[in-house]
Amino acid sequence: MSRKAIDINKTWPKVENAITSIMNSLNTGLSGEAWMKTYTMVYDLCMRGSNKPQRSSRRRNRGAEVSGKPVYEKLQDFLQRRVKSLFKKCADKIDEPLLQSFTNEWNNYVTAARFIKFLFSYLDRHFIPRMISSQQGKYYDVYTLHLVIFHKIMYLPLKNKIINAVLRFISNERNGEHVDRSLLKKTTEIFVSLGHTKQPNEGSLEIYQKDFEKQFYKETDIFYERESNKFLSEINVSEYMIKAEARIDEELARVNHYLHHSTEKSLLKKCVEVLVTRRLQLLWREFEQLVKDDKTEDLQRMYKLLNRIENGLQPLVETLEKHILAKGLEKLTEVKTTASKNPRVYVETILGVYQKYYDVVQNSFRKHPDFVKALDKACRRFINKNAVTDLSKTSSTSPELVARFCDVLLKKSSKNPEETELVNTLDKIMVVFKYLEDKDVFQKFYSKMLAKRLIYKTSVSEDAEGTMIGKLKAACGYEWSSKLQRMFTDITVSREMNETFKNHIVQKSIKLEIDFEVMVLAIGFWPLSVPNTKFVLPSLLENCVLRFRKFYNEHHNGRKLSWLNQLSRGELNSKFKNKRYIFLVSTYQMGVLLMFNEQAEIKFEEMQQHLQLSPEFLEGVLATLIKTKVLRAKGKVHQPGNTYKINSRYSSERARVQLNISMAIQKKQESNVTHRQIEEERKMLIQAAIVRIMKARKTSDHKTLMTEVISQLTSRFRPNIKTIKKCIDLLIDKEYLERADGKNNVYNYLA
């Protein structure tokens, strides 16, 4: 088949009329018949050029190359004329009328362009791709051609007026005036859409960024610099931060309403730079006063502002740490006299400071790691060294007082809190515990106090004790708490053994004159030691002890029992002025008081000879009996040759009277003994660490060895440098180590 050539000059006016109808009447447009007729005319115009038969698609496409160019040029010419007519409508307008007219014409124009590109789809599919690939001049697809012409004829001449109008709108809105945000959004969307007129691989936001954003950021800087200076001359820093935060939020809202989302990061950076970064020194200086005045909301606001700046928070972190340290030391100085004697006051004062600033870190600083670290460092410093520790002249005071507070909480008392409150308090104690440097001191005192609570059955409950041990286990590991757990096991075994012993007595028809109970405790797990004094048991007790020893040996051949009389206690029935009392006494007190069944007055030397107690132990026993007014002494107490007798005028409102009280001097002696034990244990741990390190390294210089030892032991206690040096010298004497030849600061391990 053959086709006649088409005269483009005759046919094109019909096509132009059709696309003009589309542009003028977007709602009605073309009928289906007119649409197909126009599409066919465009197709035929692209295919014209030869009367010869078109034998192959390849030849037809080559024809499209030739015929497509006049069609492309005709369309280009039409669009240029059309956009010039649109320009005349907008040229004389400014501000809002200009933006209204500009956006309306744009919307109509690009809507029509989307329809027109379908009419010229054959051009898009064949002619334009070939021309672009052959690089024969600048060619665009039909839709992009619309945008390129609009950009050149309409946008560029009006660019400055349009940008200025948009910037005035934004300035007016910043000053509190109402503006048409939808109009601004339409305008900025045009900037973005016009960016698509660029060639591939170029940013589609180039026009938006170069023509609008650059000027927008400049205006933003000028506006907020002027406003910032005005604010600071009229209001204080707290009010300024409120204004700054509100302005930043407004700018972010502006992005959401009518700016491109890519603007957000740069705009936020610009606002923070002007409103915050340039005022950093002022904000930093104000921070300490805000902390002192407990201005939680202002602190939160300052954190939010400065967190946007690199290193903006660091001075705040340092200031907060110094403030918490000063406040902790101040509070403990205020109560140092009371707190040194009352562990509850000491721990609750620490917790008061900690909780206050923990809330600040949590609420105002959103648990930022740097502020959490500052809180930890400050608490660790004032908890381990403060007015109370200075008063006692030892850094071990803190762990000892914390352990004593645990003892107060876990011991039976009418003042004990409810179970839920008790658990919460134990949780708080663990907060203080984690800051203790000498955790081994806490462990030593806690284990001794736990032992007494279990032996004397004064624990508030086994569940509470188990809860605390579980917390210590979680904090320090299984090995640390294993001995504490074993104590409970021994108590359970002892209960069962006592039941077995009672059944044994019944079966053997043995009658004991007194109620008798024994606790059998494993020597390696309890912090107890055999007393360094002899003691002759009263005959009633001696008989019971012999019976139990025989029973125990029958069941556990080869085991040896060591009797800890200093921890034993009992009850004595007594009568004064026809009133009966039950005295709760230690075994030593029992031995002394039972002697008065035989004699009215007894000399100190006689008691010592009869009971075989050392003088210092006997003096302590007599001191408590005199303090409780059960005994009276002639002359000075404890003086050799002094005589003691029962106080016949003794009376008490209670029927059960506790005589087994610890004197202040005894408590101090016990504390001193415990501290000496701790020091000895530390020396052994340091030596073990040195040997362990040297065995692995074989050779080490002095500085490295010291660093490794401190690193390994810090979780338990902070080793003293002098003590480490003494331990090294001791190990050299024991031939575990030797100094390297000619190098005094280098050690070798001796296998």
Q: Where are the domains of the chain?
A: 8-204, 213-292, 313-476, 492-555, 568-661, 668-749
In degrees rounded to 5, what are phi and psi of residue 340? -65, -20
Contact 486, 450 (CB under 8 A): no
Beta bridge partners of 569: 586
Determine the pLDDT at residue 331.
96
Contact 629, 647 (CB under 8 A): yes
Determine the pLDDT at residue 619.
87
Task: Return the structure tokens found at 73.
Answer: 């040029």
Q: How far apart are CA 22 and CA 42, in angstroms?
A: 15
| Alpha-carbon torsion (135, 138, 141, 144), positive or negative | positive
Q: How far apart are CA 197 and CA 210, in angstroms?
A: 14
Q: Provide the edge-to-edge strand list for the sheet that holds 569-576.
A: 569-576, 579-586, 656-658
Tell me which H or E stretch contains 89: helix 57-90
- Indicate if 568-661 has the same CATH topology as 313-476: no
Question: Assign residue 486 a region: left if phi > 0, alpha if psi is -120 to 50, beta otherwise?
Answer: alpha
CB contact set of 513 (below 8 Å; sequence gap of 6+) = 540, 543
**Other Cβ atoms closer than 10 A to 268:** 15
Task: Return the structure tokens found at 676.
Answer: 């000496």
Q: How far apart are CA 745 and CA 734, in angstroms?
A: 18
> If DSSP codes are grouped into helix, strand and coil, which group holds residue 696?
helix
Q: Is 367 exposed, middle or buried (0-12, 13-18, 19+ CB in 10 A)?
A: exposed
CB contact set of 622 (below 8 Å; sequence gap of 6+) = 592, 604, 607, 631, 633, 637, 638, 644
CB contact set of 265 (below 8 Å; sequence gap of 6+) = none
Q: Are strands 601-603 and 579-586 parallel, antiparallel or unpaired?
A: unpaired
Contact 433, 442 (CB under 8 A): yes
3-state helix/strand/coil string of 710-733 = HHHHCCCCCCCHHHHHHHHHHHHH
Determine the pLDDT at residue 56.
44
Identify which of 435, 358, 451 has the alpha carbon closest to the alpha carbon of residue 399.
Answer: 435
Q: How far apart are CA 410 and CA 135, in angstroms?
A: 90
Identify which of 460, 656, 447 has the alpha carbon closest to the alpha carbon of residue 569.
Answer: 656
Determine the pLDDT at residue 1.
37
Q: Provide the edge-to-edge strand list for the sheet that holds 631-634.
A: 601-603, 643-646, 631-634
Contact 8, 70 (CB under 8 A): yes
CATH number of 213-292: 1.20.1310.10
Task: Return the structure tokens found at 51.
Answer: 């009367």
CATH for 313-476, options being 1.10.1240.10, 1.20.1250.20, 3.90.245.10, 1.20.1310.10:
1.20.1310.10
In degrees rounded to 5, what are phi and psi of residue 633? -120, 145
State in words which class domain 668-749 has.
mainly alpha
Instruction: Compute the radius of gyration of the chain from its Cα atoms.
Output: 47
> From residue 11, how far is each of 46, 52, 232 by CA, in Å?
12, 21, 72
CB contact set of 25 (below 8 Å; sequence gap of 6+) = none
State in words which class domain 8-204 has.
mainly alpha
Task: Name the pTM for this structure.
Answer: 0.79
Task: Return the structure tokens found at 634.
Answer: 């002639």
CATH for 568-661, options being 3.30.230.130, 3.90.950.10, 3.40.50.1220, 3.40.50.20:
3.30.230.130
**Successive 10-residue mean pLDDT values, the chain, 751 residues:** 68 91 84 89 72 42 60 92 94 93 94 92 87 81 92 95 96 94 95 72 76 95 94 91 94 94 94 94 93 93 93 94 96 94 94 95 94 96 94 86 93 82 92 92 90 90 90 84 86 91 87 86 86 87 90 86 89 88 92 91 90 88 90 71 88 89 64 80 89 90 91 85 90 88 85 68
Task: Return the structure tokens found at 207.
Answer: 């026009």
Find how far residue 7's CA is from the centre of its chain: 81
